[in-house]
Amino acid sequence: MGNGTDAAPQFTCWFLLRGKLRSGRGVVETRYPDEEPIAGNISFEDAQVSLTLREDHGGCLMTTGSMVREPYRALLDRPGEGWLDVALVQMDRAALRPSAGAPAPRTPYLVEGDLVWRCWSGTEPGCGCCTAPGPAP
């Protein structure tokens, strides 16, 4: 039901992708916590990405339609240059610490379902970036 109510449910369709691209095409595995991975194919052509899955993730039929029979297509706003990896917070609350081993502060923190990614900044790998569900900056 997402963030809605019994009378007005809300649905989401999001998951993490893992795979390797070669010449704009790749085989991927999609994951969401506590669900079995789903295999699929992804392709990038010009400013468009297409994703086809072997089966749909929960909520996707209510938001984007099936990705099994026809690929889901979207336009690329901008490339994710400098990204190293992406993760999904699976805890109720995860504190952001200024350094490894530092005591956990009361704030800032992330909550379950927030996206976190590491990026490359100049010569320093691993600059911290995070957001609630939505596009990366």
What amino acid is encoded at 1 in this protein?
M
Query: Residue 42 and residue 129: Cα distance in Å, rounded?
Result: 25
Q: Where are the alpha helices (DSSP H) in the chain?
A: 60-63
Q: Mean pLDDT over residues 119-137, rounded?
A: 50
Place of tokens 């010449």: 23
List, in sequence order, every residue forming a beta bridge with 121; answer none if it has no partner: 124
Query: Residue 127 and residue 112: Cα distance in Å, rounded?
Result: 21
Q: What are the tokens at 3?
A: 């963030």
Query: Residue 92 and residue 45: Cα distance in Å, rounded?
Result: 38
The burial of 33, by beta-carbon neighbours within 10 Å (0-12 exposed, 13-18 middle, 19 or more buried), is given as exposed
Give the rounded percent of residues in the chain with a pLDDT score beyond 90.
15
Instruction: List, for residues 50-102, the tens digit of each pLDDT value.
Output: 999 999 887 787 777 889 988 989 887 766 666 666 777 888 888 877 777 78
Say what the pLDDT of residue 134 is: 44
Domain extents in the chain = 16-75, 83-131
* Cβ atoms of 75 and 51 closer than 8 Å: no
Say what the pLDDT of residue 93 is: 84
pTM to 2 decimal places: 0.64
